[in-house]
Structure 1
Amino acid sequence: MTFWRKRSKALCIGLTLAITVNLLVFFSKGTLQNLFMGGLHKELPLHLNEHDGAVIKRLSQLETELKHLKESMKLALRQQENVNNTMKRAKDEERPVLKAVEAKVKETKKHKTQMKLFPHSQLFRQWGEDLSEAQQKKAQDLFRKFGYNAYLSNQLPLNRTIPDTDHRCLQKTYPSQLPSLSVILIFMNEALSIIQRAITSIINRTPSRLLKEIILVDDFSSNGELKVHLDEKIKLYNQKYPGLLKIIRHPERKGLAQARNSGWEAATADVVAILDAHIEVNVGWAEPILARIQEDRTVIVSPVFDNIRFDTFTLDKYELAVDGFNWELWCRYDALPQAWIDLHDVTAPVKSPSVMGILAADRHFLGEIGSLDGGMLIYGGENVELSLRVWQCGGKIEILPCSRIAHLERHHKPYALDLTPALKRNALRVAEIWMDEHKHMVYLAWNIPLQNSGIDFGDISSRVALREKLKCKTFDWYLKNVYPLLKPIHTIVGYGRMKNLLDENVCLDQGPVPGNTPIMHYCHGFSSQNVYYHLTGELYVGQLIAEASARDRCLTDPGKAEKPILEPCSEAARNGLHIYWDFKRGGAVINRDTKRCLEMKKDLLGNHVLVLQTCTTQAWEIQHAVGDWVQTNSQ
């Protein structure tokens, strides 16, 4: 760049000098020529000496040289112009490059600032790209604490809109006179904004003439903001809506069932709606409930749930389904009954075998049938217990398509990292009170010994007496008339984990799902390692299936291949596959058709793998026996 600046300066000086000399020559030569021509014209004698002739000759030569200089200067100017154009193009080309570099620097700084601190956290899979590191840390801490995105919840408006109910429901009309409503919100260590949003949605979307009270039940929260801060919020609500909100605080942890009972006992309206505090009610949610209970006080109703995502708080609309359960008493969704489909009325109530945790009932009827079983501890099974009692003791359960509530499903339940002990205990309590001769199915599903289970499910004498007082029907009646999809099995003689005695640290396992290849895996006790041996010879591997039309997974000898497979039992039998086995505890597992034995060997990596081969001396043991199968097969 310095070279081109110096050259430009020299060209400017040379150009100035050339112009000056050119002017001097022009005027000098012109003057002399005028004198010469004037003398000739006037016929005056012009005396030019030798020196004057030389000057004129020199000026003529100088003129020629100046012409050459002009040409050189023009050439130099053209070269300078080319240089300037080249430099301009270089700058023009350099500008976007510089911009790209600057953008890259900014982007690098941005990514450096917003680097993902928790790349494996489920919270940040679809949310949080623009958060700073400090914000990410705060959001992750709140996620661990609550099991959902409390950071985002704290930023969302309390009165946010959610998608409306089906337009066919909005066209329905209801009686002008409906029962009054008490709404009960159960919580333990919820985020304050979650509770406020639930309250706000209830107030904004429930006719004030129907909503008598909102009762909050705090099941011994340790979260500090749910003390003073929540009380302050309740005061503000009550200033605007006098006497609407009440709060009950448990002095110790009592669990869901007792918390719901506390709310029910404090309620004064005709109908109680018992809800979780992490919900948002939809437009027109209350009228279908109150109208249906006004028609029939013995019906327990449930709204349709929509799902609030734990990370983004967006809403997924769930399709209508009935509430069911499996033999572990875990909730599940089942298909709509054909009788309801035949009505061709999408707004009609749907009979349901069970109810989820959210329900509404006539307050007095709920008391007559025993409210909720206070002996159910912490979490799990209380909804199934109520459902069996309602159906078996003269009531009914229905899902109302025109009542919708958005429910926030936690990613994890921070108040109990391992709910298994409570779930097992509560499931056995339900089985012993309500399931009669079919109670063994709960024991089998949970892999619990039928005798001496070692699980204390509490005193059930008062609940058994209640069943007798209400003259309740049998569980067999319930299976046949209410929930025929739930299939009891009475041919199982052995169940639990199954081990080869060569190495008792590994268990028979259903293997990866999806897939149909059983494996040997280190024993862990989860349902994928449950094995059920039938008196008829089938070996089920995996979770005990509840449905009558289930694709039970039977251990199968394919006939030629070395490895066993898992196939749906009914299909395998129809296709001529070999699903029947002879097995004695402490003995071999022999296929009845192929006579090959289920055994294990080590692969090249030293891992145990299952094989079907000519029988050696390998023996198997199964964890539990039913009835006298121990004596029969140990002989």
Structure 2
Amino acid sequence: MCQICQDNVLKTVEEKQDVIQKMLREDHDRCRQSGKDVQAAVKEHRGKQEDLQDQKEAPKEKKTTKLFPNSPLFKEWGGGLSEEEQREAQTLFQSYGYNVFLSDRLPLDRALPDTREPRCSEKSYPKDLPNLGVVLIYLNEALSVIKRALQSIISRTPKHLLKEIIMVDDNSSNEDLKGDLDIYVKYLEQENPSLRIIKVRHNEQRGLSYARASGWRAATADVVAILDAHIEVHEMWAEPLLTQIKANRTVVTSPVFDKVTFDDLKVIKYQPAAQAFDWALWCMYEGFTPEYYKLKDASLPGKSPSVMGIFVAERTFLGEIGVLDEGMKVYGGENVELGIRVWTCGGSVEVVPCSKVAHIERHHKPYMPDLSLAMKRNALRVAEVWMDEYKHNINLAWNLPLENHGIDIGDVSERKKLRERLKCKPFQWYLDNVYPKLDSLDNLLAYGGMKNLDAEMCLDQGPVPGHRPIAYTCHYYSPQYTYFRATGELYVGGIKSHKYNDNRCIADVDNNNTEPGLYKCKEAMQKGMGIYWDFTQGKELRNRQSKRCLEIKNNVLLIQECSGQRWEIQYIIKAF
């Protein structure tokens, strides 16, 4: 058998075949001479013949080049793809923001892991629940992703509960979302004759808010679930939501979203959390109230200030309170508007941990690379209708002037009439009772860039991470955002929207140091730094503790004996 060792130096498959054939002949002769058991010899002979066949069929290993080493898609996935497959996968990724190449090759009915809280499996639900209409919104979504969403909804929702699916196409241009999708929908209708499937197609792109309202108008079921099309529902997703709504028709519910990673489409468990927002109206997760956690049961629904966008509500109640603001453009802000409206106009919002929906988290949104353009406009619209004396907090979050910001928010007269007709509570009530974690910023006096009129330079947060603010040419972008409070703190580089966060204060570190510091305000206080400043627009910026001034000398930011240098902040909220 020592001849096998020579495989490492043989150059071709043909040479290996010759060696193995020779071995087979020698083994056959030895068996005849020694009288070895014939059956055993045959078995051994066949094994070596199979080995020979493997040698003939084994493909030559071909090393492929990684064509897109900097693409997020190929950071963890796609190591075995050919160059042609890599190009296809990358092109699809750029078009959709997630891995369509892989999605097209996954089963439409793939199993999802049970990621619910353990106590959820022990719960039972009423049989006489209201029926459900599911609204799916899409714009140039991948066909396989929509198919998988439809398949999961139909197979994981009890037939006696699922009345209809409304598919709202916000003017997609992809050809496969026309004929090919129609064929698949007809197949589903044949397989599920009691299920109503409706397609609504816009003749122009109207945005998420309008599309969701279109789906609501087409629905006839007791309850509507308004979902994105890049989702897969888990088993028992509907029953917990419908149970909450059956008990209280004014509650708007949300499932817990598991994350489907954009590259390998794996499902990552997300813990139940409240769905909240900051003053720029970007959505975010945060903890439920302390009272919720005292119950020590993570399967219980928790109150939430807002929704992330996907929600389930009684259809008629949603109509009574104004569905969604159809004046919103493209994306963003409509979820916060709904949350504020529901809470202040007689309803409530709950996250239901025993309901799980897997949601693809796109790497990028192809339909609008810069979402901030639409977000600014929509946020200002929400503020104008719902936020009363706190509406200027939206301006400061986006560093926009209070007046003449140049952004057209559209006609809001009908939404204001709706608020008046419903006799909704003021926004102060919402801050006090629903979202006390949101910092009202009610003692903020001014914000924007802080310019030294003598040096013609601006206060800047400097390198991050770091604690050394600097003087820099004025550009008025986020590193130069400053905020002056009536109590004397001067924040640089942004302001936090929530009371549980700590801002960074300009500080006079000590009298022996001319370098100013930039530290978290609580940390600076603990270390005895001076964080309170006396300031009047167009005059000096003097530290209240050391009596020294913040000045610029030879383009360097210093704290030194006051020489009368003047500062001016961009936007004034209240006279000071």
Identify the TM-score tier after normalising by the shorter chain: 0.7 to 0.9
- SS in structure 1 opposite 2:184? helix
Q: Write the distance in 1 (CA, Å) between the matches of 2:518 and 2:190.
A: 65
Matched, 1:202 2:149: no
Distance 1:377 1:520 in 2: 38
In the alignment, the residues of structure 1 paired with residue 310 and residue 491 of structure 2 have an alpha-carbon distance, to the nearest angstrom, of 35
| Residue pairs, 1:180-579, within 5 angstroms | 180-242=131-193, 243-501=195-453, 507-520=458-471, 525-559=476-510, 560-579=512-531
Q: Is the CA contact (8 Å cut-off) linking 2:272 and 2:298 kept in structure 1?
A: no
The Cα shift of 1:99 comes to 8.1
Aligned-partner SS, 2:419? helix
SS of match in other structure, 2:209: helix
SS of corresponding position for 2:255: strand
Aligned partners of 2:235 and 2:408: how far apart in 1? 44
Tell me the equivalent position of 2:99. 149
Given the superposition, is the C-alpha separation of residues 618 and 95 from structure 1 closer, same or farther in structure 2, using an over 3 Å criterion?
Answer: farther
Q: Distance in 2 between matches of 1:167 and 1:447?
A: 45
After superposition, give the CA deviation of every residue in 1:401-437 in whole Å (9 maximum; x if it has no partner): 1001111111111101112221111111111111111
- Higher relative contact order, chain-length normalized (CA < 8 Å, sep 6+): 2
Distance 2:217 2:244 in 1: 22
Distance in 2 between the 1:141 and 1:95 partners? Answer: 42
TM-score for the superposition, normalised by structure 1: 0.78
CA drift at 1:92: 9.8
Shift of 1:601: 6.0
- 1:489 is displaced (CA, Å) by 1.4
* SS at structure 1 position matched to 2:144: helix
User: What residue in structure 1 maps to residue 559 of structure 2?
Assistant: 612
Aligned residue type for 1:122: P
Matches within 5 A, 1:60-75: none
Distance 1:601 1:228, change over 3 A: farther
Give 2:21's aligned residue. none
1:118 corresponds to 2:68:
yes
What code does the residue aligned with 1:558 have? V
The equivalent position to 1:133 in structure 2, one of 75, 83, 91, is: 83
Deviation at residue 502 of structure 1 after TM alignment: 6.8
The 2-side partners of 1:489 and 1:241 are apart by 54
8 Å contact from structure 2 (residues 117, 299) kept in 1: no
One-letter amino acid matched to 1:393 = C
Following TM superposition, by how much is the alpha carbon of 1:600 offset from its aligned partner in structure 2, in angstroms? 4.5
Which SS does the other structure have where 1:217 is aligned? Answer: strand
The aligned residue for residue 121 of structure 2 is 170
Q: Deviations over 1:182-219 (max 9, x none)?
A: 00000111111111111111111111111011111011
Judge conservation of contact 1:327–1:544 (CA < 8 Å) in 2. no
Moved more, 576-585 or 242-251: 576-585
Q: Which moved more, 1:388-397 or 1:241-250?
A: 241-250
Quote how far apart the aligned CAs of 1:97 are: 6.3
User: Shift of residue 357 of structure 1?
Assistant: 0.4
Q: Quick one: distance in 1 between partners of 2:61 and 2:476?
A: 49
Deviation at 1:452, TM superposition (A): 1.9
Structure 2 distance, partners of 1:451, 1:444, is: 12
**CA, structure 1 residues 220+92, in 2 after alignment: closer, same or farther (shift >3 Å)?**
closer
1:490 deviates by 2.4
Cα distance in structure 2, aligned partners of 1:99 and 1:611: 74
Quickly say closer, same or farther: Cα 1:347–1:109, change in 2 above 3 A. closer
Kept after mapping to 1: 8 A contact 2:300/2:353: yes
Distance 2:200 2:4 in 1: 73
Question: Structure 2 length as normaliser, TM-score?
Answer: 0.86
- CA distance, structure 2, for counterparts of residue 502 and residue 109 of structure 1: 70
Matched residue type, 1:228: G
Query: Is the 8 Å Cα contact of residues 349 and 398 (structure 1) preserved in structure 2?
Result: yes
State the 1:287 CA deviation.
Answer: 0.3
What 5-or-longer segments of structure 2 have no aligned partner? 16-57
Q: 1:236 to 1:551 in 2, by over 3 A?
A: same
**Deviation per residue, 1:253-297 (Å, 9 max, x gap):** 111111000000000110000000011111100000111101100
Which residue of 2 is the match for residue 633 of structure 1?
none
Question: Could you tell me whether the CA contact under 8 Å between 2:541 and 2:550 is conserved in 1?
Answer: yes
- Residues 267 and 566 (structure 1), Cα distance of their counterparts in 2 relative to 1, 3 Å cut: same
Change (3 A) 1:110 1:561: farther
Task: Please tell me the residue identity of whatever aligns with 2:342.
Answer: V
**Larger helix proportion, structure 1 or 2?**
1
When residues 97 and 621 of structure 1 are mapped into structure 2, their CA distance, relative to the original with a 3 A threshold, is farther
- How big is the alpha-carbon RMSD for the aligned residues of Structure 1 and Structure 2? 2.7
Sort the Cα spacing of 1:521 and 1:122 in 2 relative to 1 into closer, same or farther, 3 A. Answer: farther
Q: Distance between the aligned counterparts of 2:476 and 2:252, measured in 1?
A: 37
Give the whole-Å Cα distance in 1 for the aligned partners of 2:61 and 2:7.
21
Decide whether aligned partners of structure 1 residues 423 and 521 sit closer, same or farther in structure 2, where only a CA change above 3 A counts.
farther
Looking at structure 2, the residues matched to 587 and 267 of structure 1 have their Cα atoms a distance apart, in angstroms, of: 62
Q: 2:442 aligns to what SS in structure 1?
A: coil
Q: Distance in 1 between matches of 2:108 and 2:4?
A: 53
Q: CA separation of 1:403/1:519 partners in 2, compared to 1, >3 Å: closer, same or farther? A: farther
Deviation at 1:587, TM superposition (A): 4.2
Q: Distance in 2 between matches of 1:93 and 1:362?
A: 74
SS in structure 2 of the partner of residue 476 of structure 1: helix
Kindly tell me: are residues 500 and 224 of structure 1, through their superposed partners in 2, closer, same or farther at Cα, counting changes over 3 Å? farther
Q: Is the 8 A contact 2:251 2:313 kept in 1?
A: yes
- Residue identity opposite 2:395 in structure 1: Y
What is aligned with 1:5?
A: none
The aligned amino acid for 1:150 is V
- Could you tell me which amino acid in structure 2 is paired with residue 189 of structure 1? N
**Structure 1 residue identity aligned to 2:96:** F
Kept after mapping to 2: 8 A contact 1:306/1:404:
yes
Shift of the alpha carbon at 1:508?
3.5
> Equivalents in 1 of 2:471, 2:4: separation in Å?
69
Structure 1 gaps, min length 5:
1-88, 603-607, 630-635
Query: How far is the alpha carbon of 1:527 from its aligned partner?
Result: 3.4
Paired position in structure 2 for 1:158: 108
Change (3 A) 1:561 1:283: farther
Distance 1:216 1:354 in 2: 25
Name which one, 1 or 2, has greater alpha-carbon Rg: 1
Are the structure 2 counterparts of residues 93 and 256 from structure 1 closer, same or farther at C-alpha, using a change threshold of 3 Å? closer
Residue 514 (structure 1) shift:
4.4
Alpha carbons of structure 1 residues 157 and 609: separation in structure 2 relative to 1, 3 Å: farther
Equivalent pair of 1:170/1:284 in contact (CA under 8 Å): no
CA distance in 1, matches of 2:398, 2:329: 17
